[in-house]
Chains A and B, each alone.
Chain A
């Protein structure tokens, strides 16, 4: 079994989570994370980051923009059809 240090594990993390690592490397990383509380904590926060930013950047379409989009598209598509 390959020995893995935290720093190498972090470098491989995305490939590990995407399931594209060779089987022996994947198994070595599994074993490292299982025995390393620091890496276990790091992996959790690495996986939680997209969820937190997805919620924090979920902009809502303003009603006035929806209305102006409709007016814009009506004018432009009518002109496009007429051309």
Chain B
């Protein structure tokens, strides 16, 4: 009886090298491996309407720039950076929306600097996904992401939704790590309050 060893999936870097040398099947494999993740990222950074354009633009740029990929970072990191830039460029080309204040969702404190809400009220945002209809929550999540100031949105999406490290986000956005932390913090405060408000409790 012959035993066929399972074939290991080629690494991203191996596929990139083959694609750069003109192997179309390797490029298709890269697209197949990353298209769902890049689409999700594009939806989060732009909108469902703009995400298809960002997806196309990203893979076109990947194809064109594959020969210049030097392996100084992981291939996935390099690809994510291109996708992030494509999304941000796409958004900049759109008419700027007026900045909207989400300060109403920030936590409230009394004169002594103590939380104004009770522990039960403060914790309710943790259960928003159990208390709200899934489809309703998905729609509201899309709405509020679009209302977040761009600087906070970009940092929050990359750091908290795409789960990149603070250092990776800082590199991708061209800012200091402390700036990333400050923006993510601000976004989390607003979004936490928003979830609380959706459930009907003041943040």
Contacts and interface: CB of A to CB of B under 8 A. Distances in A.
| A contacts with B: majority SS | helix
A39 B192 contact: no
A50 B161 contact: yes
A56 B144 CA distance: 11
Contacts, number: 137
A70 B145 CA distance: 29
Question: Number of contact residues on B: which range applies?
Answer: 35 or more
| B contacts with A: majority SS | helix
Contacts of B119: 37-38, 40-41
Interface in B167-186: 181-182, 184-185
A54 B160 contact: yes
Interface of A: 5-8, 10, 13-15, 18, 20, 37-42, 44-46, 48-50, 52-61, 65-66, 68-70, 72-73, 76-77, 80-81
Interface of B: 22, 24, 27-28, 31, 35-36, 39-40, 43-44, 48, 51-52, 55-56, 59-60, 63-64, 107, 109, 112-115, 117-120, 122-126, 128-129, 134, 137-138, 140-142, 145, 156, 160-161, 163, 166, 181-182, 184-185, 188-189, 191-192, 195-196
